[in-house]
Amino acid sequence: MTVGDNKNSMMILGRQRLLAPHWPVHLGGLGTSQEVAASVLEELCLHGIDETRRILTIDVVGNCILVAGSEAQKEAWLPAFARGEAFSAVLLSESTAGSDLAAIKTTATNNPAGWHVHGTKTWSQTSLAADYGLCLAKTGSGSPTTSFTLFLLDLRQPGTLLRELTTIGREAFVEVQIDAIVPDEHRIGRRGAGWTLILEALRHERTGREQNAKAARWLAQLLASRPEAAESEVVLSLLSRLAIGKQLSLQLSRELGAARRTEQFLSETELDAASAACKHFNTKLAQDVLFESLRLLGVGALTPYDQMKSGEVLAGGVQWLELPGLGISAGTTEIMLNTVARSVVKND
């Protein structure tokens, strides 16, 4: 699917108010539950539609604005996001700060014109096609919990330079060099609240629904090619894990929605460990589906990408290009396991 096809899909969904169904009606949603939004994400994945743009714009950036933005900010940005007419990337990682966001060096210094944001963000997804970028920057010294602030940058404004990075994947990663003045009206939440808001956003990104849906699609492709494999012990185990992972993700979506309504997200909760566990469980599931596909189908299933046909088993090997990213996106496998371990030790 091309970038243009993906954008058209997002706009079609937006016109039906399905990109952010859990948002209020006046902001472009349907006023439904978080579970409905999770189901939309699942359907996108099941039908092979690239979900990254929606996840970043709606689940991460949009929800940060929904939680901490002013009414003017919500009205300025959220309806366009919900309609699929504007998109946002996320500017967190740096060359020396990947999963360890506490090590970021990008700064934002207050001045009469707003904030002078200076630094370089790396491994940003969808930035080349995005209108905005949610940037985490240091606005003070001391603990990350009080010294980081979020800003919504216009990626076309003077002082921002985007450079595509060379990778083996099909999805472009971008380096964003920033030396720009950002008006205070683009600060999301209070000064020093960036860390708390990003952790809240990551919980929603770590439900595992995306990985579970991909596993379901890839497993269906495998069984379409090898229907006799449906009775094998390995595939039966994968199907069982698929059902368990879906239920875990659905329950987590319910709990996240309840926590947001009661504002429990403002402090670290057991949901951090629950979201990490869900993400890890479903990531490992998706990885195991791919390895079983390769075992049954052989390397011959990995058709060169430029020769693949729509619906081809293993999609010409595209999934294998996604495989490393499954254990990195929204937090590495090691970070997920460490988060769960900390919770176990704390409650022991």
Mean pLDDT, rounded, of the chain: 85
Which of 157, 134, 154, 149 is closest to 194 using CA atoms? 149
Q: What letter does residue 167 receive in the DSSP assignment? A: -
Share of the chain above pLDDT 70, in %: 86
- Cβ neighbours around 111 below 10 Å, total: 9
pLDDT score recorded for residue 348 = 63
Q: Is residue 3 over pLDDT 70?
A: no
Considering the four listed CATH numbers 3.20.20.70, 1.20.140.10, 1.10.3720.10, 3.40.50.170, the one that applies to the domain covering 206-347 is 1.20.140.10
Q: Do 90-195 and 3-87 fall under one CATH topology? A: no
pLDDT for position 94: 92
Phi, psi of 12 (to 5 degrees): -65, -45
d(CA 98, CA 263): 28
For residues 6-33, one letter each, b for 16 or more C-beta atoms within 10 angstroms of the residue's C-beta and e for the rest, the string is beebbeebbeebbbbbbbeeebbbbebe
Tokens representing 269?
Answer: 């909760």
Top-ranked range on mean pLDDT: pick from 50-59, 78-87, 192-201? 78-87
Q: Is residue 205 pLDDT above 90, yes or no?
A: no
- State the pLDDT at residue 268: 54
Q: Which CATH architecture has domain 90-195?
A: Beta Barrel (2.40)
Per-residue pLDDT, averaged over 84-113, amounts to 90
- Cα gap 113→323, rounded to integer Å: 44
Structure tokens belonging to residue 347: 């409650």
183 compared with 48, residue with greater pLDDT: 183
Question: What is the 3 state secondary structure string of 25-50?
Answer: HHHCCCCCCHHHHHHHHHHHHHCCCC
- Nearest of 51, 192, 16 to residue 126 by alpha carbon: 51
Residue 319 pLDDT exceeds 70: no
* Whole-number pLDDT of residue 318: 58
The answer to whether 149 and 137 are in contact (CB under 8 A) is yes
- Secondary-structure class of domain 3-87 per CATH: mainly alpha
Helices marked H in the chain:
3-15, 34-46, 52-54, 63-68, 71-83, 144-147, 194-205, 209-225, 233-262, 271-297, 318-326, 333-347
Neighbours of 171 (CB within 10 A): 12
Average the pLDDT over each of 107-116, 134-143, 163-172, 206-215 and give the range with the smallest value. Answer: 163-172
Task: Decide: 153 and 116 in contact? Cβ < 8 Å.
Answer: no
263 band by pLDDT with thresholds 50, 70 and 90: low
**Whether the Cβ atoms of residue 86 and residue 66 lie closer than 8 Å to each other:** no
* Residue 119: per-residue pLDDT: 97
SS3 of 60-115: the string is HHHHHHHHHCCHHHHHHHHHHHHHCCCCEEEECCECCECCCHHHCCCEEEEECCEE
pLDDT confidence of residue 48: 67
pLDDT band at 320 (very low <50, low <70, confident <90, very high): low
* pLDDT tier for residue 316 given thresholds of 50, 70 and 90: very low
Average pLDDT of the segment spanning 189-194 = 94
User: For residue 311, is pLDDT > 70?
Assistant: no
The DSSP 8-state label assigned to residue 128 in this structure reads G
The pLDDT tens digits of the residues spanning 119-144 come to: 999 988 889 999 999 999 999 988 88
Is a pLDDT exceeding 50 seen at residue 266? no
pTM here is: 0.84
Q: Rounded to the nearest 5°, which phi and psi values hold at 59?
A: -75, -30
Domain positions in the chain: 3-87, 90-195, 206-347
Residue 38: strand pairing partners: none
Share of the chain above pLDDT 90, in %: 46
